[in-house]
Copies of this chain bind each other. A is one copy, B any other.
Amino acid sequence: MLHPQKKDILVANAKNPKYSGVIPPVVTPRTAAGDIDVQGLKNVVEHLINGGVTGLFVLGSSGEVPYLTNAERELVVGTIREANAGRVALIVGANEQTTARVIEEGAKMIALGADALVVTTPYYALSNVAEVEEHFRAIHEALKIDIFAYDVPVRTHVKLAVSSAVKLAKEGVIVGVKDSSGDDVSFRQLLLATADIEGFSVFTGHEVVVDGALLGGAHGVVPGLGNVDPAGYRRLFDAAVAGDWATAAAEQNRLADVFEIVYTPDSSRVSGGAAGLGAFKTAMVAMGLFDSNAMSAPMEALNADEATAIKAILTRTGLL
């Protein structure tokens, strides 16, 4: 599997990371009837690659992975693989509660064309640090593929310890970390502790602090908002690589304003999970990428008022 796009990327702070740049977690459009919108999904892939993304994170939280049936997961990965046609790296979530289940899920994803897997700490289970480390080791041993540890305690309720990540990185068990922990202190400590590990990548999953993350040495960003404005994140990344931090910060500030779309939904009606993803989808409908902002049941879609508020934000930030 080639990653031709990576030839073009000079990473600001990194010892030759294997993966870098802008790798958005691809949303999963549904038709108003609730089915996967295959053509819409293809449009999204084209939109992202045209925007300059360097990889696609498939079956992430932004892709509503916990809501997809097994058949839907397969359809999504297959569709994205075909639409991508080898242009950028496919980093695919193997989302299951625990080790043996992740291994089965991961094997499926590899068969479907994943270049790398994204694996969380165990969830629903009540683990300790040693079990978390063994979890990653066993998965790597069984699947022998590039693995990103996905640190997302808001969902798993376990913070991946910096010490565990460093240990697993040095052992070659993981090739990177996707950090959605919201803990910028441990993020910087992870960057410093892994700076000398050849090929290792640290990605931030937080949309509005990418400039600071890159200044601190991050190698890439996995922004849900990148579905809406991939080119903005690519400009931000390129400015950082060029050492033009004032431009990076200005672009980040504009993207932080775009991110205000996630605060438009009425929180008494729409859940935290549905608000952000619903806003992304609603913005993408406004941008003509697909037809419906329907969410996986039982999440509710944003309504017309919320769509109007989102359009206003897209307009003021230059996206409409």
Query: Which residues of A pack against B, CB within 8 Å?
Result: 13, 66-70, 72, 95, 97-101, 104, 122-128, 130-131, 134-135, 138, 154-157, 182-185, 187-189, 192, 206-209, 211-213, 215-217, 243, 245-246, 248-249, 252-253, 256-257, 269-274, 296-300
What 9 A-B pairs have minimum CB-CB distances, sorted nearest first?
A: A212-B212, A126-B273, A134-B298, A128-B271, A66-B97, A184-B184, A245-B245, A126-B272, A131-B298
Collect the chain B residues with CB atoms within 8 Å of residue A187's CB: 209
Collect the chain B residues with CB atoms within 8 Å of residue A243's CB: 245-246
Collect the chain B residues with CB atoms within 8 Å of residue A185's CB: 182, 206-209
A66-B125, A184-B184, A249-B216 as given contacts; A192 in contact with B134, CB under 8 Å: no
> Bound complex: CA of A189 vs CA of B263, how far in Å?
12
| Nearest Cβ on chain B to A42's Cβ, whole angstroms | 23
Collect the chain B residues with CB atoms within 8 Å of residue A124's CB: 66, 95, 123-124, 155-156
> Bound complex: CA of A258 vs CA of B157, how far in Å?
30
> Bound complex: CA of A184 vs CA of B138, how far in Å?
33
Central interface residue in A125, A131, A270, A271, by most chain B CB within 10 Å = A125
> Bound complex: CA of A95 vs CA of B66, how far in Å?
12
Collect the chain B residues with CB atoms within 8 Å of residue A182's CB: 182-185
A212-B216, A249-B216 as given contacts; A126 in contact with B155, CB under 8 Å: yes
Name the CB-closest residue of B to A208. Answer: B188
| Nearest Cβ on chain B to A141's Cβ, whole angstroms | 11
A127-B271, A155-B126, A211-B212 as given contacts; A296 in contact with B249, CB under 8 Å: no
Collect the chain B residues with CB atoms within 8 Å of residue A184's CB: 182, 184, 206, 209, 212
Q: Which residue of B126, B138, B215, B253 contacts A192 across the interface (Cβ within 8 Å)? A: B253
| Nearest Cβ on chain B to A308's Cβ, whole angstroms | 21
Collect the chain B residues with CB atoms within 8 Å of residue A128's CB: 270-272
> Bound complex: CA of A98 vs CA of B256, how far in Å?
30
Q: Which residue of B13, B154, B215 contacts A215 across the interface (Cβ within 8 Å)? A: B215
| Nearest Cβ on chain B to A91's Cβ, whole angstroms | 19
Collect the chain B residues with CB atoms within 8 Å of residue A127's CB: 271, 273, 298
| Nearest Cβ on chain B to A222's Cβ, whole angstroms | 14
Collect the chain B residues with CB atoms within 8 Å of residue A212's CB: 184, 209, 211-213, 215-216
- Other A-B pairs beyond A67-B99, A209-B212, A211-B212, 19, CB < 8 Å: A66-B125, A99-B297, A100-B296, A100-B297, A125-B155, A126-B273, A127-B298, A128-B270, A128-B271, A131-B298, A131-B299, A131-B300, A184-B206, A185-B209, A188-B256, A192-B257, A211-B215, A216-B252, A243-B245
